Amino acid sequence: MGMSRTRVMPLFAGLVILGAMSGCEAPLDLRAVEKSRLSTIRRSDVLQAASASGTSIVVVGSGGLVLRSADAGQSWQRAVLDGWPYLIDVNVCKGGLFAALSYEGDVWVSHDQGATWSRKSLDTAEQPQSITCDPTGRLWVVGSLMTIWASADVGETWSTTSLDEDVILTEIQFIDNDLGYITGEFGTVMRTEDGGKNWERLPPLPDEFYPQDMYFQDREHGWVAGLVGVILRTDNGGQSWQPEQTGTLVTMYGLELLNGRMFAVGGEGTILRLDGGQWHAVDHGEPIRFYLRGIRSLSGDRLLVLGPNGTLKIFAGASLLRDVMQPAAARDQG
């Protein structure tokens, strides 16, 4: 039996045939691709955090993305900051100043509701995690090695405090001029009662719980949320914490208070509402496949949620109070 041979088509002939075949097909329509590219909010956007002052809203994300609205979310404008910083947090300060934090170690500030931004460097090798403002207008940032940065001049200069422990501080919140809380890795909870001059270590969260977010409603009452659907509550200013029933195992990433009622967001598009000490999954009706990373209350009794895949939704507060889904644990048993 002779050896079989592979036929090799001459290059010129192959090009002729391919050209003839392409002539039989409809031309490729790139208009939809171009429309998506030019749209304000894109499916490739990874949205991380939002903040609001009156009708002004600022949303930040990866690749230096800033989305801003001057009309309470009815329309949006898109901008990208120089250098494409990975923006991970944003907060609004006294006088309507917006301050955004990048993972690279810079703070970006805007005095015109997010229209223009200037960069202020933390000048650090540590990794920042969260930014906030106290009621006096000072900026505060927390990050790795238990580092705390503070600025009284809108980021021009920074004072730095570090306990030099291999612990990542993840969230910071001030209740008033003097009282503030910090949470972090390995169940870390810290409190200041003198406006950040001194921070004391409180008893750690149970089982070295790693909170993804923290929210204190007042001096005594607060929550932390994190992995496998865990939400813990304190009624004594962080001295002790108790778990609350959530009915879900998805990670919870954000906590927010809307008109006296607590909400949480997390994996698989989950929105939870706290009723009588138990969390219920809200049937919000949106086909959100991915996790929700951020949550922010807005004027007019509305709630903004956001995440990857360009997810940005605003819900009327009343719509989130009507219906709840059956808790996940009960659904699994059904």
Spatial contact of 68 and 113, defined as CB atoms under 8 Å apart: yes
Domain containing residue 260: CATH number: 2.40.128
Residue 299 lies in a domain: yes
Residue 271 lies in a domain: yes
Residue 324: predicted pLDDT: 58
List the single range of 6-15, 157-166, 278-287, 300-309 with lowest mean pLDDT: 6-15
Section 151-161 average pLDDT: 97
Section 318-324 average pLDDT: 79
Residue 37: predicted pLDDT: 53
- Predicted confidence (pLDDT) per residue in 240-289, tens digit: 999 999 999 999 999 999 999 999 999 999 999 999 889 999 999 999 98
Residue 264 lies in a domain: yes
Closest residue by Cα to residue 214 from 142, 146, 275, 164: 142
Residue 276: predicted pLDDT: 86
- Predicted confidence (pLDDT) per residue in 227-239, tens digit: 999 999 999 999 9
Residue 41 lies in a domain: no
Residue 16 lies in a domain: no
Residue 39: predicted pLDDT: 85
Largest CA distance in the chain: 94
Residue 315 lies in a domain: yes
Average pLDDT, whole number, for the chain?
Answer: 88
φ, ψ dihedrals at 31, nearest 5°: -65, -40
The residue segments making up the domain with residue 273 are: 217-334
Residue 292: predicted pLDDT: 98
Spatial contact of 174 and 142, defined as CB atoms under 8 Å apart: no
Residue 26: predicted pLDDT: 52
Q: Hey, what are 51's tokens?
A: 């903040």
- Predicted confidence (pLDDT) per residue in 192-206, tens digit: 999 999 999 999 999
Instruction: Say which residues have a Cβ less than 8 Å from residue 93's Cβ, sequence separation at least 6.
Output: 99, 133, 137, 139
Spatial contact of 247 and 327, defined as CB atoms under 8 Å apart: yes
Q: Which residue has the higher pLDDT, 332 or 85?
A: 85
Number of domains in the chain: 1
Spatial contact of 327 and 286, defined as CB atoms under 8 Å apart: no
Residue 247 lies in a domain: yes
Residue 221 lies in a domain: yes
Distance of CA 64 to the CA centre of its chain: 14
Residue 328: predicted pLDDT: 40
Whether 75 has a pLDDT exceeding 60, the answer reads: yes
The model's confidence at residue 332, banded by pLDDT at 50, 70 and 90, is very low
Distances in Å between the alpha carbon of 146 and those of 29, 143, 152, 161, 167?
A: 53, 6, 20, 8, 6
In 176-251, at which residue ranges do the beta strands (DSSP E only) sit? 180-184, 188-192, 200-201, 211-216, 222-226, 231-234, 242-244
Residue 145: predicted pLDDT: 95
Residue 163: predicted pLDDT: 85
Query: What is this structure's pTM?
Result: 0.85
Q: Hey, what are 27's tokens?
A: 């031309």
Residue 29: predicted pLDDT: 56
